[in-house]
Amino acid sequence: MSYDRLANAEHGASHRFFCIRASSTALANIDGPLADIDGPPSLWPIDVTSNFPFMDAQFRRHTMYQLHYFPSNANAAPHMVLEEIGHEYELVLVDRANNTQKSEHYLKINPNGRIPTLVDGELVMFEAAAIVLHLVDQHPEAGLAPKVGTPERAKFYQWITFLTNSLQEELMIWQYPDRLAGADAAASEIVRNGAEKRAGAYLDVIDRHLKANGPLFLGDKLSAVDFYLVMLSRWARPMSTPPRSRPSIARLLDMVGALPAVRRAYEREGVTGEIC
């Protein structure tokens, strides 16, 4: 999608296919993987492959995706991509309030006990960035990644890896300093402050890139990397200098955050207020 198309996007919902296993309206104020958790019990899906053994592999590839999620967790990026692609999918709530991500059932599909997980026929995937890459490869017609083998595709890989390996890593340390510092409050504060400083430096790199090459990561072409930054920017809102305090990042967040696909993804996770 070009910048002109982005600015004038009018995506109807008629071609979007979506179903959900549990209502998440009560979860509207939950902010990502990093907030106090409150929510309804999880409802688990059937095993789509074992229950339909007559399906051949080619048919299963075109069946409904299944995204295991919790509101505003790392599933948000693949969820936005699914909405923009317009392919049929199902949401399955993983109730972190009851630690369901560590249940025997969930560990069978995600041995790390983390969210999200994507089920695509016989293929089961974890790690948000990997899921995003799989989705853009399966749906090149959506135009959410440049053509494989091009310099533009290399830059796409660069930025999505930077977001997940650098910025996201520091945001997780910032939110959970006790994982490194233990029960020592003073040490946790040192760890937290250091992570916020490093995350801020990474955001500065992004802002400079967008100022020089934007308004989006790949110029005027919308890509899955832009969705990924929206997700991380929501998590980082409580920072002393949040992402939106940087003008070029703020411009991207305004543009991408206004897309119907982004609004639908968050609304279907129960988030109806400001996204980022």
Q: Could you tell me the pTM of the whole model?
A: 0.82
Would you give the DSSP letter of residue 68?
A: E
pLDDT in tens, 121-140: 999 999 999 999 999 999 99
1 pLDDT more than 50: yes
Using a CB cutoff of 8 Å and minimum separation of 24, what contacts does 26-29 make? Answer: 26/270, 27/71, 27/269, 27/270, 27/271, 28/71, 28/270, 28/271, 28/272, 28/273, 29/273
Domains of the chain: 9-143 (3.40.30.10), 151-259 (1.20.1050.10)
pLDDT (0 to 100) of residue 74: 97
Q: Which of 61, 119, 114 is nearest to 90 (CA)?
A: 119
- Do the bridges between strand 65-69 and strand 89-93 make them parallel or antiparallel, or are there none, so unpaired? parallel
